[in-house]
A and B are shown apart, each in its own frame.
Chain A
Amino acid sequence: MAETKETSEKDEKPKPRVRPIVRLGIFLISHSVLVSVVCCTAGVLALFLLPVLAKNTYISENALMPGSASPMLSYQHVSDGNRLVKDLTNLDLKSSETGIESQRVIAQYMLELGAEVSFHKFHAQLNQFHPLHFFSSPDSGVIQENFSCSSYGINTVGIIRAPRGDGKEAIVLVTPYNALKSGLGEAVSVGIAYSVFSLLTQVTWLAKDVIWLVADSRYGEYAAVAAWLRDYQIPKFSSLSTLNSEMCPDINNLYDLKVNSIAGSKYSNSFRRAGTMAAALVLKVGDQSEQYEDTISIYAEASNGQMPNLDLINVVNYLAVHRQGLRVQVEKLWSLLNSSWLKSLGEIFESLGKVAKSLNPEWKFGIPATEYVEGTATLASSLYYQALGVPTGPHGAFRDYQVDAITLEISPKYSLDKFRRNDILLRGGRLIEGVIRSVNNLLEKFHQSFFLYLLTSPSKFVSVGVYMIALALLIAPLPMVAASLYVDANSLDSKTNKSTPSTIADTAERGITIRSWRWLYSAKLVFAVHVWGAIVSLLPYFICQIPDCSSTISFMIWVVLSMISLLTLYSVLASPFSCNNASQEKEWALVKSVTISYVFIGLGLMSVINFATAEIGALLMVPMCLLARPLKFDLRAGSLRSFSRMVCNLVLGLIAFPPAAFFLLKGMLEDFGSVNIGDFWMWVESLWAWNSATYIFIGMVYLPCWVLCVHILLHTC
């Protein structure tokens, strides 16, 4: 190898002993190709092994004691809940045009229980792109001057004060309810919450206040919950932001509620608070499930892949499965369930596990193939939703304020007719009661269990210590390859320099110093592309200012503008096709080296912010970066190896282009027919609307990396 030759030249000089760790490093760098192949394969394999390595969940916090008390929710409470459901559905028939009536009914019911009731008016806030608001704490919202009465939403909030509690903490129960077009499911979810609420007004064990938020979901469930939370956590005291209800007559009607006398309670206009939130549950009742059992789906992913404490999921899972006999499921990628390659992979793992078990009965890492396939599908969806960085439900709003929250969606086996409804009300209510009671037992906030995990089934998880291995293996070869490329490029040059014998030692010395700074040119190029990436990720902010622009057109504008800016930057800063100088012959190696180190830094940073994004990004970027090599060389060589490498490069370069990857994935998961060019724009829009760090990652790391790889592929010298 070049390196050994170099060292042999300098062998005459007495050389100090090199330390073992340095020797190891040099060894790895000199065998970077082998190392990178081994590491990448191991990384991908480790990812596929994750469902096998998943551990069973267990309740880590002893204070939770789920299910240790028998449920107190009786048929009396259920019939109360049922009465509310009937009232709400009857109201629906009467077609109340603003939906105020149903809010009033709910508030009246809450008042009769002796709860403190208040209405929270909010203005539906449009998600807007704030380039500088990524990672910042949620702000108190833009103050909109021109609002109209029609765009108000009204949340109904009921609070039960714990009789003997000190009111420092609160548990939040959220039921989204759209008064304008509510299905039976929403009414039933309100009914379940009401039956639990009516029980909680009577119990003596309550230590934390309970807040029941009936979120007006006419502008989306998330918006209503987020608006309420914003006013709860960061209220504005100046008048601009508070909604003056005087301007809107139908909201004032709401306050004509009779002062309920028995409990001495009355509604109040002011915003009511309880203490610090300990946990939040969002309850939804879905339509009839296609499953053969009553199922309950848990949605846990919040923005930027944040997860609630695993104990919260554990408690729900434990109570639902072992107490209420509900089937618990978390989201899966259904399309993966039928894939044959995954099945065969599962069978291989299963047989391997069998062999291992026959060797030593203590080794129990084999899982059945079907379980493996399901686990992989769940893991893939878990990774996907975490990577997307978009919350999967209204619970996401809570996580922004460091409150653990999950969404529970109950899907009944049969349709919600009268008899079945009672059963759902009872079981759902007992589940909610049990969870609230567990959280109520909690002395400290959730901290015992994991926050960083991936679910492979409701009762199995992969913790951060295990899943980081896959990513670490994937990105481990990057610095080595970068170093070896750098050394390679330098040594090649030195060889060419050595071939001219007329150079005296002094100039050679200077030449070496100049050469060792040659990477700066490449760095300049990489930096330029990086700047371009920043510009591209800022462009949507300006594009969405253009009025009346369909998503397809916006996308087109974006692409065109990006191209123009890329060409300008290229011509100004770094021209790719200027290799008149012989010394720049190995330019591409240096560019690749700098690109790879840049990708390594980017992936490392992203893995801290959002692991799943980094993992998926690494799966695409690492092979692309490692394989990138000017096509011209491969064409020139003409061997089978170089030809296959060229094909790989081309395919990877095509797939890894973000829109292409998006359309491919979408087509694979749904249907190729439904793919529309504007979809990508919509997807990107949703990313920045949710302040997802994935957007930044794509704009600032992924896209520049792709461009640089294409640059290397098209390198002419």
Chain B
Amino acid sequence: MNPLAWLTAWWGSRRIPLAWLLLTRQPVRLAVALAGISFAGILMFMQFGFRDGLFDASVTIHRLFDADLVLISPRSSSSVSMAGFPRRRLVQALADPEVTGVTPVHWSLLLWRNPETRATRSILTLGFEPTDPLFTDPGLAAKARVLSERGRVLFDELSRPEFGPVAPWFKQGRTVESEISGKRIRVGGLVSLGTSFGADGNLLTSSETFLQLLPNTPPGSIEVGLVRLRPGADVAAVQARLRRELPSDVQVLTKAGFIAFEQDYWRTSTSIGFIFTLGAGMGFVVGCVIVYQILYSDVSDHLPEYATLMAMGYRLTHLLGVVAREGLLLAILGYIPAFAAGQGLYLVVRNATNLPVAMDTGRATLVFSLILIMCMGSAALAMRRLGDADPAEIF
């Protein structure tokens, strides 16, 4: 039987939609239930959104690098505390036949002075040879030319506004100068990178300028080494070979591994993941309590009516089905406003924090599953009340 014929047959043989009518003929109770479920859903969307946004945001820069393999120091724990390793290791890596190019990168958080208010704030600064490829974005090479002049930086226009109105001033044609670690620098261009929890803003500069800003950097020491391979090369095999050949003062990661390294830090070494998961859990519990209360009092209020239906010859399983359908309808009806509000709040969060928080299928499914569990679990508990519906007592 084809689905359409089946659907027609089902529609033709349907019964009074008791669950739907029980819910919709009590609009106040329905509104309270939906408000509770939506609230729980929104809370879960926000908490999971923040958590995932944080993990995503922590690797905004990491995703941009033009690299197949990344060398870092084993002492580095995250983007906010990168340790140095000898630049020689990168040159050694270049000896591998599969390696086509390398880029040494200096990486540090430096104090930037707001050119307007003179307040200082920590900004992530990357130093590299302007002629080397750094990011996969091909537009960078042209912009990087300006860095060959000493004391020039490229400013990330997506940086938080606390760093000052650098981008607007620069676009107006003004000369934007500021100070880093007591050294004068000039903004030579704008790039579009994005903020993260670890860095409120980003700055690109040449290795030469970087070393001027941080004169205590040991010579020949870098924080990140980008390694590019011949197209079609076996990344895992080269990674294994470099690990074997290079001393243990350097760690060889794939680009994906480099991203995971950063995310793992935020996930495991901070309580951020726990806090947001706990927040989502509380939303779940609050939702459970509300839905259970609503369904339980609904069943209690209609107990004589359920008993009447049993006296008429309806089976207990049929009545259990009514409560289950009520739970299912509540889950679906409560999820829709939660989803819509979640979208809206994500937009607000994106605008307010520049964090990459967006609705994705995984999270949308996760929250719906949790709401479904919440409603069906509550329905299952409320069903126990149906056992008290005794048709012998209704005469």
A and B pair up: no
Binding site for A on B (CB under 8 A): none
